[in-house]
Structure 1
Amino acid sequence: MVGEKLRVLQMLPDMETGGVEQGTLEIGSYLVAHGHSSLVISRGGRMVADLEASGSRHITMPYIGEKSPRPLAHIPELRKLLQEVDVLHLRSRVPAWAGYLAWKSLPKNKRPLLVTTFHGVYSINAYSAVMTFGQRVIAVSRSIQDHILENYSIDPDRLVCIPRGADSSRFDSGRIFDEKRNLIRQGWGCEGDTPLILVPGRFSRIKAQDLVIRAMDGLGDLAWKLVFVGDPEENESYAEELGELAAPFGERIVFAGYRKDMPEVMAAADLVISPSRKPESFGRILAEAGMMGKVVLASAHGGSLDIVEDGETGFLFQSEDASDLAVKMRTLLENRELRKSMGEKGQVRISTHFTIESMCRSTLNLYEGALNFLEKQKDAETDT
């Protein structure tokens, strides 16, 4: 099987925005670039155009991400598709159940390799257990791997940790001119050497943007500009709440909306914060910021523990502790050289351990290795 052209089908709820969606796009692009075929099923979204532009084929199934019995209506169509692919890669629980039941209903000799990816710390129940049903199960960080082993009955030989990564071809500080960086800073009213604090991420209480605003109460004596990047329409009520919290700070806090030019946005920042209340499964923002040579601050749990070397490439703070975050922000805001040295160390670490290339290569190796193993198993059973 190694060296042969593979046909890989990935399934997820939609292709709007987020880490799961971005990972799906990256794996699809990598497969196509290496001569394989990539097929993605979702109910659609803004990233479909990028997916198709990179060579993947997208099939829209309108109910596939819906939390209702309706995704099961897609099973007959899925049964036909599964007989045309070598790998079925399930990335989320609702489509995973439809995909798994379609896969299970096929004769064993017509089933593709079944791969599942644990992208988060799901609620522990029978519904979430479908993500352990893969013939190979991918954990996106060591914390997720530990979570699976602690809470589910799974053969460790089926489980592999493949960290997600940052795209070194996009997040390359050497390719971004100072003129572009300065234009972004000026557009946000960040003058001269004023430190720009960047908080990227979807608007959600889980992401804890409000915690950062509360932490700024104790930093009013310092120069800074705080910028939130994300689409407020994803959670309008929470966005309004953040706007009310930020109002006393006036123009010192900016809501920049959704941006596609994240490498340039990262280049404009002096430090990047990931304040999530719940453990991040990986922490792509931290990896991207690190690859750009930016010092990072993150809640001390989940995938952040893999990415951030506390006190070396950034700081970890206690989740939901605005005072702890403020203390560590003050240290960085007051010390430009410390920000620079930590950012440089982080850049080396991320470029060595957490790249898209390594994630995609490891995933393709997993596909090929598992297919070869299963093929040898079939041959052995036939001989006996």
Structure 2
Amino acid sequence: MSLSVLQVASSFASWGGTELHILNLSDQLRQRGYDVTIACRPGKWVEERAKQMGLKTASATVERQLDWRDYGRLRQIIRDHKIDIVHVHWSLDMVVPGFAALKEGVPVRILSRHMPYPFKSRFGTMLYSKVLFTRMVTVSNSVRNTLIKCGVAPDRVETIHHGTNVEAFAKTTVDAKTVRKELGIPDNHVAVGIVGRIAPEKGHTVLLEAAKILGDKYPLRYVIIGSGPDEQKIKDLAAEMGVADKFIFAGFRDDVNNAISAMDVVTVPSTWNEPCSAVVQQGMALSKPVVGTIAGGTPEMIVDGETGLLAPPSDAPALAEAIGRLAGDAFLRKSMGQAGYARVVEKFSLSVMTDKIEELYQREFDKARGSGAYQKALAS
């Protein structure tokens, strides 16, 4: 049975991992025969990108959690498109779109939790988990455990990890040697990459400390791919610590897959509970060993000693030890990279994620269709 799905992105004004997740999921569902509409802000990145992809959009804006201006519009969208499933992805979209879906009698109302934080109050926990949404999805078991600890019943929430389009991501457009030359990585050096926003929680400072510990023990170049509020701070700190000559600041790149392909090791030294790091999956998709931290959802993806290595967060000596172990063993890098590729294909691909979400949609819809409330709504 073909179902009509509304993916809600009305609170997103720019681009990021969750926005890409919504677009990729919508595209996959459309290819499987679902009638998918994305509720999004007019003139913003999600709408523009959705139109480029040929996805249906409907204009709606929620700027604050209690911004009711487009409540009526959201209800009209649900009626116009005869929506069977409303899927919400962000905290600002939980209340107004949630009530719109509830008022219109949408049988399946899904809340995906992409961040590692608990709900702020007991009332909020009850409202989201028992009233507004029929099911909750978390992007890692770590996030699921956080919601259970704040009062969500275990049988109301399940984990579906983010998925990477492995085949598409692995199709690089510039060969690794060319990228290494462009970045200035010497041929005989091991390139250690860190990818993402340069901000305190991403662990760039810990990587600087690890580089200082390792010193000249191995021929290493550390490549920082990305930009962010702490970029100048990290550059200054690298100079103060005497490791600036070992670091290459590559800046923001649209072709992050080309950049990762030029690395020998990918590091994700996050100091916070990274919910489900896309970079971990991207490194694995390009057959790179990944060094991550024992925090958040990262240990659910990296098998320590098989697909990569894990270190405690903010532990520079442990991070240095892991990097050094890989820097000194090309065979280990290759074997871990191959194992990582096999693991991401089997467990964390975009198609695997979509399979699980599709199964969830069908299961919840079948359950709702058999309920007395749903039959009453159909008759009204």
Question: Does the alignment reach a TM-score above 0.5?
Answer: yes
Would you say 1:187 and 2:185 are equivalent positions?
no
1:363-378 equivalences in 2 (<5 Å): 363-378=357-372
Q: Supply the RMSD in Å over aligned alpha carbons.
A: 2.3
Shift of residue 214 of structure 1?
2.0
1:237-252 equivalences in 2 (<5 Å): 238-247=230-239, 248-252=242-246
Per-residue CA distance 1:94-139 (angstroms, 9 max, x = gap): 12122113233x25xx325210011121144238636534201111
Shift of residue 302 of structure 1?
1.3
**Per the alignment, do residues 60 and 323 of structure 1 end up closer, same or farther by CA in structure 2, a change over 3 Å counting?**
farther
1:297 alignment partner, SS class: strand
**Per the alignment, do residues 251 and 56 of structure 1 end up closer, same or farther by CA in structure 2, a change over 3 Å counting?**
farther
Would you say 1:80 and 2:76 are equivalent positions?
yes
Per-residue CA distance 1:3-62 (angstroms, 9 max, x = gap): 324233323531633321121011111122223232223446445433222222334545
The corresponding residue for 1:121 is 116
Shift of residue 206 of structure 1?
1.5
The unaligned stretches of length 5 or more in structure 2 are: none
The corresponding residue for 1:255 is 249
How many angstroms apart in 1 are the aligned matches of 2:34 and 2:315?
Answer: 47
Selected match of 1:358 from 352, 359, 362:
352
Per-residue CA distance 1:226-257 (angstroms, 9 max, x = gap): 1122233xx2xx22211211234334312222
How many angstroms apart in 2 are the aligned matches of 1:240 and 1:89?
Answer: 39
Would you say 1:280 and 2:279 are equivalent positions?
no
| Conservation of the 8 A alpha-carbon contact between 2:166 and 2:349 | yes
1:169 alignment partner, SS class: helix
Per-residue CA distance 1:259-283 (angstroms, 9 max, x = gap): 2212222211111111111111112
How many angstroms apart in 2 are the aligned matches of 1:181 and 1:45?
Answer: 34
2:95 alignment partner, SS class: helix
The corresponding residue for 1:219 is 214
TM-score (norm 2): 0.89
Shift of residue 363 of structure 1?
0.9
Amino acid at match of 2:365: L
How many angstroms apart in 2 are the aligned matches of 1:257 and 1:45?
Answer: 24
How many angstroms apart in 1 are the aligned matches of 2:52 and 2:184?
Answer: 35
The corresponding residue for 2:303 is 309
The corresponding residue for 2:34 is 36
1:358 alignment partner, SS class: helix
Q: Kindly tell me the number of residue pairs found equivalent between the two proteins.
A: 366
Segment drifting more, 117-126 vs 369-378:
117-126
**Per the alignment, do residues 80 and 125 of structure 1 end up closer, same or farther by CA in structure 2, a change over 3 Å counting?**
same
**Per the alignment, do residues 99 and 292 of structure 1 end up closer, same or farther by CA in structure 2, a change over 3 Å counting?**
same
Selected match of 2:316 from 296, 301, 322:
322
Segment drifting more, 211-220 vs 288-297:
211-220
The corresponding residue for 2:168 is 170
Shift of residue 301 of structure 1?
1.4
How many angstroms apart in 2 are the aligned matches of 1:112 and 1:250?
Answer: 57
The corresponding residue for 2:334 is 340
| Conservation of the 8 A alpha-carbon contact between 2:118 and 2:150 | no
Shift of residue 153 of structure 1?
3.3
Amino acid at match of 2:350: I
**Per the alignment, do residues 250 and 277 of structure 1 end up closer, same or farther by CA in structure 2, a change over 3 Å counting?**
closer
The unaligned stretches of length 5 or more in structure 1 are: none
**Per the alignment, do residues 188 and 46 of structure 1 end up closer, same or farther by CA in structure 2, a change over 3 Å counting?**
farther
Shift of residue 300 of structure 1?
0.4
Shift of residue 316 of structure 1?
0.7
How many angstroms apart in 1 are the aligned matches of 2:111 and 2:284?
Answer: 28
Q: Percent of aligned pairs with the same residue?
A: 22
Amino acid at match of 1:349: R
Selected match of 2:8 from 7, 10, 23:
10
| Conservation of the 8 A alpha-carbon contact between 1:266 and 1:292 | yes
Segment drifting more, 47-56 vs 19-28:
47-56
| Conservation of the 8 A alpha-carbon contact between 2:264 and 2:333 | yes
| Conservation of the 8 A alpha-carbon contact between 1:182 and 1:268 | yes
Per-residue CA distance 1:272-305 (angstroms, 9 max, x = gap): 1111111111122111111211001111011111
Would you say 1:265 and 2:259 are equivalent positions?
yes
TM-score (norm 1): 0.88
**Per the alignment, do residues 379 and 74 of structure 1 end up closer, same or farther by CA in structure 2, a change over 3 Å counting?**
closer
| Conservation of the 8 A alpha-carbon contact between 2:107 and 2:368 | no
